[in-house]
Amino acid sequence: MEVQLFGTQKSQDTRKALRFFSERRIRVHFVDLAERAASKGELQRFAREFGVGALIDRGSRRYTELGLGVVRYDDARWIERLVEEPLMLRMPLARWQHKVTVGLAEEEWKQWVATGEE
């Protein structure tokens, strides 16, 4: 079992997710968004499941710095902005097989682990 995790080392929730999988000896392919942005296709996978609005961390420093509180983009434009500015993403983004989560989702991850061990 290997989980792909998008986030930053500075994100407390990302560190919690890394610790969660590490404690269960689950391999993690970690993508540090401070170094490399998620691809448009990857973000669309999360957006299909949760909607684009769920991917945006409206409380993030970068969102505030860019003054996006009054902006009204369509979903396609938001995806483009999130590719350009990955620090506006709600973290962590986790993916295992065809399942995805946004934010801290330990209950769902526990189900993944149970399913992955069978």
Contacts of residue 66, Cβ cutoff 8 Å, sequence gap at least 6: 85, 88
**Residues of the domain holding 24:** 2-116
pLDDT at position 117 is: 67
- Per the prediction, the chain carries an average pLDDT of 92
Contacts of residue 19, Cβ cutoff 8 Å, sequence gap at least 6: none
pLDDT at 84 over 60: yes
SS3 51: coil
Q: What's 29's domain CATH number?
A: 3.40.30.10
Cα separation, 76 vs 36, in Å, equals 20
Per-residue pLDDT band for 29 (boundaries 50, 70, 90) equals very high
Residue corresponding to tokens 């990857």: 42
Neighbours of 93 (CB within 10 A): 26
Per the structure, the count of domains in the chain is 1
Tell me the pLDDT tens digit for each residue of 32-80: 999 999 999 999 999 999 999 999 999 999 999 888 888 888 999 999 9
pLDDT at position 118 is: 55
Instruction: Look up the pTM and report it.
Output: 0.89
Cα separation, 95 vs 81, in Å, equals 21
Alpha helices by DSSP H, 4-105: 12-23, 40-50, 52-55, 61-65, 75-84
